[in-house]
Amino acid sequence: MIPTPRFALLLAAAAALSGCALMTPKPPTAAAPAVTYTGTPQEQWVQGQAAYLAWSAARPGWTTTESGLQYHVAKKAKASAPKPEPGAVVTIHYVGKFIDGRQFDSSRDRGEPATFPLDRLIKGWQEGVPLMRVGEVWDFVIPAAIGYGDRSRDPIPPGSALLFEIELVAIPG
């Protein structure tokens, strides 16, 4: 049997495609630049916090206020749901984490929401929670300047950016 030109073309195409299946992908030619931190461990910690804040501010769907508070609405409520006034007493569920994902506090783990007067909380909460409506869940990234600043508050090291998931449960009486 003599191969026809069409059969020969199909045979050549099959051979070429089978060679592609055996090829291994090439590794990327340029690696991401390494980040180098300098100074004391505390200075390196603060540099890492600043790098995270810069990265986080560029995420789609996130808003950054003039103070540096970053927020994202994870669950919206009806437009008619009430908002707390600055200084109001609020009942919230929250989960607090460091930028590396380690959790440092959680009302959810305790199985009970917490009730606080807003004016007794960190500035990031004082600014962010009044933007929320009852029933909403927001994610916050709070820079140290509007969190605990340079103070150490066990287990939170000085200069820490903090991540919070906050659900506004109620605005009591």
Which residue positions in the chain have pLDDT lower than 50?
A: 1, 3, 5-32
Q: Of 92, 140, 164, 166, which one is the catalytic site residue?
A: 164
164 is catalytic: yes
98 is catalytic: no
Residue 2's pLDDT is: 52
Q: Of 98, 99, 116, 122, which one is the catalytic site residue?
A: 122
Q: Of 139, 140, 148, 171, which one is the catalytic site residue?
A: 148
125 CB neighbour count, 10 Å cutoff? 24
Count the residues in the chain.
Answer: 173
Distance, in Å, from the CA atom of 24 to the CA atom of 49, rounded to the nearest integer, reads 38
| Domains of the chain: residue spans and CATH | 39-170 (3.10.50.40)
Residue 130's pLDDT is: 98
